[in-house]
Structure formats: C-alpha cells, structure tokens
C-alpha cells in the first residue's frame, strides 16, 4: 500500500481518529464518583466563582490548549473547510501531548468571516489556558490573532505565522555564525508574502536584521512602494515594500546573502543561487516540494551553501514541532497572559544554542546514526531530541517573567525537574541523583576512555558539573576523537603506556603476588584499562570507576573484584536495576552477579538494594520473592528467602520493613498485603524486589522492562569496597552519565576505605579460581 492508503487505515482503525479523553482521578467507588461530579463538584465551582484564578488550581485549564481552525488554509490542501481539517487539528493535539504533555481540544469552526472567528474563539477563554490558531488564511489570520491578543487574557499564537518564524530564526542565527556574517548586514530576499513570510520577516528584524535590507517578493515580483501606493498589495505586505524599481525574484536574489522561500516549488534555479553572495544561506521551505532541492542548491556552488528545507529527508528541516509545544509549555507554566516577542526570541536563541551541543545517542539512532554535529548540515535540533523541552520551555518562561507577561514566578532548577518528571519517572529519579552528584563532584575514572561514547559522556559529566572524569586510554586517540566530534574539551587522560603507570603495576603486584601474579605479569595487566582503572581507585587516585561498555559483564567485573574487593561488611557484590513506571519505582536484585545465593547472601543483597533506594530518596520496602506465600510451599528453595527475611527482621540495624517469602503479585498488590496477608510486615506494596537466584532476577527485570513498559536504569553494582559500576554493551551516552552520577553519589557516601576479603567472593561472583 502507498502512504495515502496507510494513512487512511491508521485513522480508521478502532477507535477512529488519534486522541481520546482519559481520567486523571480514581473513579472506582461511589465516593469517587460523588467527588468527581455531584454533589462534591460544587465545592470547586464555588471556589472558582469567588476567585476565578482558582480555575488553574481545580481544573485542567492550566494544561489545556484549544487548537482552533476554520480549515481555510490547510498546508498543502488549501481551503478544505472546517470538517475536513479535523484530522490535522487532532494531529496537532497529538504533537502537543507527545512533546510537551499538554492536553488539547481541537475546535473546528465553520466560519469564514474574521469577526465570527474572533467572537467564537474569545468565548472559549474560560476553557483554555491558551489558544493555538491553525490553518487560517491570510490576511484574515492577522486580524483574528491581533484582535484575540487584545481581547483575551491568555496566550494566543498563530503557529503558521510564528512557528516558522521562530524555527527558521534559530536556523538563521546559527547559519550566520557558521558563514561568519553579521545579521544586521545581511541582504535577505523572501519568496512568498503570506502569513509565515511576513511573520518571519518581522521576527528576523527582532533578531537583529534590518528591515530595509529585506526584499519581499510575491507572485508578481518584488513588493515595491509604487505597487503599495497603487493599492496592489494589502496592508500587511506593505510593511515590507521596497523603495526600488519593479524587479523579478531572479533579479532580487543577485548579490543577496539569504534566500527565504515560503512560496511554491521549483522557482529557484542553480544559476540564481550562483548569483548570491559568498557562502549563501538558502532556506527553501515550500512544502512538500521546496523552491529548489537540497542537492541542486549544494551543487550550484563551490563554496558553502547553508541549506534548510521543510522536508525530513534533507538536513536542517524547519519543523514547527520544535516550537509550539515547548513555547506553550513555558507560557502555561507561568500563567502568561500572552506570547510576546521576547518569549519568541528566547525560544529561537535556546534552539540555536542547543544545536551546538553533543547530540544524544537516541536522537542519532532515530536518524539512522547520521553524524549530527554543529555545522552547515546541522543548524537546528531534531524534533525528537528530548532536551528541547528542557531548554525552550524554561527560556520562554524566564522571558515571560522578565517581560512582565507572567502571572507566576518560577525557580528554574525546580521547573526543569518538573519538566523531566513529565517525560517519565526515570528522569525524575535521575534528577535526584544528578543534583546530589553536582553538590560535590568526585573523580570518576572511565576505563574504556578511547571509545567515542565514553569521551562524549566524559564531556557531558564535566560540562554539567556532575563529575571530574578521568579517561584511561591512548592520549592521541582520545584527543583526535574529541576534535573530530567537535567537543571543546581538554580531558584528563591516563595513558597505560606512559612510564608514570609503573607505580600502579607495583601496587597491583603487591595486591596479587600471592594470587599467582608476577611483577612482569602485573606490568602487562596494568596496560589493560580495567586493571589500571581498578588500581587507581584502590590507591585513592580516583573516587569511582566505570567499565563494561566494550567488555562482557564477567570480564569487566573480575578486575575490580580482584583489586578493590567487596566492602568490609559485604561478602558479595550484587547488581541492582531500578525500574520506573508511570507512578511507581522498584529496585530489582540480584540481576547480574550471584547465580545461586544462600540465605546470608540474599539478606546482604536486600540490605544493599535498600541502601541504594535510600540514595534515590525512596523509602525501601523489601520483599524476598518465591513461588510460595509465607510457607504455602515448604522446601529448600522456599526456605532460603523465608530465612533471609527472618534474619533481616531480627537484625536491629535493619531500619526498613521486609518480609517473605512471597509471590511477586503478593509483593506489589496492596489488596493482598492488607487483605489475605494482613499479618505481613509490609503495609504498602514492596519497592525492593529480591529474586531467589540470578536466573529469576535477570528474567524478571527484563520482562518488566519489555512487557511492562518500565524504563530500566542500571545495573548498579552494590557491595563493593569503593564505587564501581559495570555498563552494558551498547549502552548510550545517557546511560553512562546516569551510572557515573550514581558512582559519584556512592563516593560521597562511601565510608569503606579499605578493600574487603576477596578470594571466596571472586569465585562465587565470577567463577574466578584465582
């Protein structure tokens, strides 16, 4: 099937359309319903009647946007009417929710006259925190937006105008920087004089361009003062009428620096691009086909052509989804009365700045691992980059406060944390750890230091003040890689081949000479990144260690176990995953180390997992799992977790509730714990789940992750004398940064400064017979 047939099936599939309304409060009991509706709903009604601003407290208004259209100018389709425009408006609602967690009602109005649109939309103000006008033809769209901005006290934003202006404005800021030109000196030519073109020209002036340097062309050629005086153009086009003789688009482009196309396909030739000044900027944004294709514009000249289009199959797509969700997010969250010019400029500048930063692996993967790096082919971020929310929304909110448009102030650190929580519990939890890490950064040695991902993670750790990274690897390789990927970074590097590392070989020999290691073998081993990093931590030259990105788990774990060992109060290390669901967090152990633990090991694993939960500001409630509930099956397998739970309950130093053995559903269901098993020590569902063996733990966390929709952070290694964490092969940069953050917090709280006993522990954990 073709795209059209696929799209029809997509929209037809039951339930039809793309959006639905979901409840956010319980509706399970008679009392729930009496609170949601009559008689309880009267209380918030009366509160709002007395204080209208309380609508933001008691209703969805503060997170609700109305997408309003009459379908008179639907992109690529023209005037198709209100009813036919509904799929587009529903789609707009999907983007608001997907990218900024904003709820939307789409409102299609069967009106053609501006005054009717104004009156109907104005009457919706009590319902919405903001209005997004969409697909309304020019020049009526100008009149409608201007009137609503004057007559309402909520943000009104015509995305067809301002969205294109802001995103292309961000691209222009970076294009000018790359080309080495000044905004105020640019000669800018527009092809197209509709709503988006006029709004973009106005916005470029706000960014620093000069209005007298802008030449605007419509289908009749350059808009001149003579044409304006003759009444050939409307009042909005007249704003950019040039004091010049009539000319064609081709003539206007000669000697220009920037071409901005918001018109029709295939009207710009390679010869017209060649007539522009050196290193021209070409924004050909007609959709679906641009004024000139990307390959044609690039091939037209020998120098650098910085090109942007409205298409996803070319670099530098000017996509409005980079703007409207995040601009409204920032505006709603400070209860702004408008979206003013300062807020738009702040959004463009935030986008431009973000394009200069290292791109997350998930974004690269979404674009087939393209080399997304600041330069002519990457001047604006990609729409799927989750950081856009954290950069643009706070910038817009701050601008609203500073310009006087906000009704509420905000703390930027707290606000970013709230935004991260909107994108998932895992981000909220990692914010707790990263904030702790930033309060007292520690030296973290990264064993596989010449790997590109490790270098990028080290840059981020340093740039964000999370840690002081130390890279183990070949210095020349590391520096070349950092330069190639555009990182302005002067990392600390420990090269295993340098003579200075002999002292670490001496220490390794001292530690392992009675384990069959000669001095020569120690010198050879210290050239391996894992052994060198382990000895650095053991000696105190680093506070924590990360490894495992390019090694299998047992191979990565063996050197730190041999060199650093377990903590004095822990005979065994254990691997813990934190799994985050929408409204729940659980810690799963042991998932990576101990194959068949006895009751003492299970008890120790439980204690370490509970300590880890504390570091995430989670009060642990531990359940030791089995296929039996509290003795319903009695054999050696069920006795182990039962005895471990009893051992922990009887330990006066254990300060968290723990019970078992119990089945997994018993552990996580409140009804079971407060009903059938009301005698259990857990009053609420467990959030630390300890599996009876490695096989169960590994299978269990992966099923929860893949089928339960949980996000997994880890594995986090517990029980070591000093902080060590082992990455998984294929981990992304964010995973490396997350584990390094955990390692820093471990180092902050670590009181064990001498290695523990290692011999038997190694054998149990890794199969190493020394």
Point out the residues that are catalytic.
37, 92
Residue 581's contacts (CB-CB under 8 Å, 6 or more residues apart) are 425, 708, 709, 710
> Is the preceding omega at residue 145 within 30 degrees of 0, hence cis?
no
Residues 6+ apart with CB under 8 A from 208: 183, 184
Residue in the structure block whose two tokens are 């080495």: 180
Contact 719, 609 (CB under 8 A): no
Q: How far is CA 526 from CA 37, 356, 493, 512, 567, in A?
A: 70, 37, 15, 12, 23
Nearest to 294 by CA among 279, 275, 304, 309: 309
DSSP string, 379-429: SS--TT-THHHHHHHHHHHHHHHHHT--SS---HHHHHHHHHHHT-HHHHH
> Which among 612, 686, 617 has a CA at the least distance from the CA of 425?
617
Within 10 angstroms of residue 75's Cβ, the number of other Cβ atoms is: 14
| Residue 197: HSE in the Cβ half-sphere, 13 Å Cα cutoff | 30
Contact in structure between 623 and 662 (CB atoms under 8 Å): yes
CB 260 within 8 A of CB 191: yes
Sequential DSSP letters for 712-732? EEEEEEESBSS-EEEPPTT--
Contact, 572 vs 760, CB < 8 A?
no
3 state DSSP class of 656? coil
Q: 69 forms bridges with which residues in the sheet? A: 108
Q: What torsion do the CA atoms of 417, 422, 426, 432 make, to the nearest 10 degrees?
A: 10
Main-chain phi, psi angles of 156, to 5 degrees = -125, 130
* Gap between the Cα atoms of 561 and 531, Å rounded: 10
Residue 271's H or E segment, with its range, is helix 270-274
- The tokens for 232 are 């050939």
Contacts (Cβ under 8 Å, ≥6 apart) of 380: 167, 170, 171, 174, 308, 316, 317, 318, 322, 351, 352, 355
Contact of 291 with 262, CB cutoff 8 Å: no
CA distance 328 to 100: 8
Q: Which residue's structure tokens are 């006993």?
A: 757
Give the list of residues 6+ apart from residue 604 with CB closer than 8 angstroms, or none. Answer: 570, 571, 572, 574, 719
Fill in the DSSP letter of residue 715: E
Which DSSP symbol is given to 240? T
For residues 320 and 160, give the distance between their C-alpha atoms in angstroms, rounded to a whole number: 8
The DSSP 8-state label assigned to residue 513 in this structure reads: G
- Tally of CB atoms within 10 A around 553: 17
Asked if residue 96 lies in contact with residue 102, where contact means CB atoms within 8 angstroms, the answer is yes
Residues 505 and 526 sit within 8 Å (Cβ to Cβ): yes
Asked if 574 contacts 745 with a C-beta cutoff of 8 angstroms, the reply is no
């Amino acid at each position: 099937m073709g795209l059209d047939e696929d799209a029809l099936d997509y929209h037809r599939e039951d339930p039809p359309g793309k959006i639905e309304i979901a409840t956010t409060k319980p509706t399970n009991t008679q009392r729930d319903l009496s609170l949601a509706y009559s008689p309880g709903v009267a209380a918030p009604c009366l509160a709002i009647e007395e204080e209208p601003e309380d609508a933001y407290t008691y209703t969805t208004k503060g997170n609700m946007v109305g997408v309003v259209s009459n379908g008179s100018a639907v992109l690529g389709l023209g005037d198709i009417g209100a009813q036919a425009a509904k799929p587009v408006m529903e789609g707009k609602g999907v983007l608001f929710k997907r990218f900024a967690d904003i709820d939307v009602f789409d409102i299609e109005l069967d009106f053609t006259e501006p005054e009717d649109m104004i009156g109907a939309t104005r009457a919706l103000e009590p319902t919405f925190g903001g209005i997004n006008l969409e697909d309304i033809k020019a020049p009526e769209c100008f009149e409608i937006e201007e009137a609503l901005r004057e007559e309402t006290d909520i943000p009104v934003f015509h995305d067809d105008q301002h969205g294109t202006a802001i995103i292309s404005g961000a691209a222009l800021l970076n294009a000018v920087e790359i080309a080495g030109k000044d905004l105020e000196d640019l000669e800018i030519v527009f092809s197209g004089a509709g709503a988006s073109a006029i709004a973009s020209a106005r916005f470029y002036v706000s960014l620093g361009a000069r209005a007298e340097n802008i030449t605007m062309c419509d289908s009749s050629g350059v808009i001149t003062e003579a044409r304006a005086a003759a009444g050939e153009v409307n009042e909005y086009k007249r704003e950019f009428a040039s004091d010049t003789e009539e000319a064609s688009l081709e003539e206007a482009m000669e000697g220009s620096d920037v071409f901005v196309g918001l018109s029709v396909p295939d009207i710009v030739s390679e010869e017209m691009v060649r007539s522009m000044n050196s290193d021209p900027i070409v924004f050909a944004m007609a959709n679906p086909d641009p004024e000139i294709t990307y390959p044609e514009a690039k091939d037209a000249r020998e120098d650098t052509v910085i090109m942007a289009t409205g298409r996803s199959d070319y670099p530098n797509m000017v996509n409005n989804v980079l703007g409207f969700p995040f601009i409204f997010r920032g505006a709603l969250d400070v209860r702004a009365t408008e979206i003013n010019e300062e807020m738009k400029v702040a959004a463009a500048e935030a986008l431009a700045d973000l394009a200069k930063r290292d791109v997350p692996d998930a974004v690269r993967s979404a674009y087939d691992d393209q080399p997304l790096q600041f330069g002519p082919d990457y001047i604006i971020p990609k729409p799927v980059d989750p950081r856009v929310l954290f950069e643009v929304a706070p910038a817009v909110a701050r601008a609203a406060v500073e310009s006087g448009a906000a009704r509420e102030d905000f703390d930027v650190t707290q606000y970013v944390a709230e935004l991260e929580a909107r994108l998932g519990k895992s981000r909220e939890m990692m914010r707790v750890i990263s904030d702790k890490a930033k309060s007292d950064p520690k030296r973290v040695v990264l064993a596989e230091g010449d790997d590109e991902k490790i270098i990028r993670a080290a840059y981020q750790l340093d740039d964000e003040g999370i840690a002081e990274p130390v890279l183990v690897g070949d210095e020349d390789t590391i520096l070349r890689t950092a330069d190639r990927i555009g990182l302005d970074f002067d990392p600390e590097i420990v090269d295993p081949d340098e003579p200075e590392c002999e002292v670490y070989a001496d220490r390794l020999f001292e530690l392992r000479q009675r384990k069959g290691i000669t001095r020569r073998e120690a010198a050879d081993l210290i050239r391996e990144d894992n052994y060198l990093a382990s000895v650095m931590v053991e000696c105190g030259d680093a506070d924590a260690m990360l490894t495992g990105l390019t090694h299998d788990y047992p191979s990565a774990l063996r050197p730190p176990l041999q060199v650093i060992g377990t903590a004095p109060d822990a005979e065994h290390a254990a691997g813990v995953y934190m799994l985050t669901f929408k409204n729940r967090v659980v810690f799963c152990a042991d998932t990576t180390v101990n194959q068949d633990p006895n009751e003492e090991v299970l008890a120790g694993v439980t204690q370490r997992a509970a300590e880890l939960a504390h570091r995430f500001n989670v009060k642990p409630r531990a359940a030791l799992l089995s296929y039996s509930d509290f003795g319903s099956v009695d054999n050696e397998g069920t006795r182990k977790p039962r005895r471990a739970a009893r051992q922990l309950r009887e330990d006066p130093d254990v300060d968290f509730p723990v019970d078992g053995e119990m089945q997994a559903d018993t552990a996580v269901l409140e009804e079971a714990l407060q009903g059938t098993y009301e005698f259990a020590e857990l009053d609420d569902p467990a959030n630390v789940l300890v599996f009876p063996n490695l096989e169960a733990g590994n299978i269990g966390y992966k099923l929860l992750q893949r089928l339960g929709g949980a996000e997994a952070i880890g594995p986090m290694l517990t029980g070591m004398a000093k902080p060590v964490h082992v990455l998984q092969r294929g981990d992304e940069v964010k995973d490396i940064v997350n584990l390094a953050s955990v390692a820093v917090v471990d180092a902050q709280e670590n009181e064990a400064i001498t290695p523990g006993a290692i011999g038997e522990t190694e054998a149990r954990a890794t199969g190493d017979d020394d």
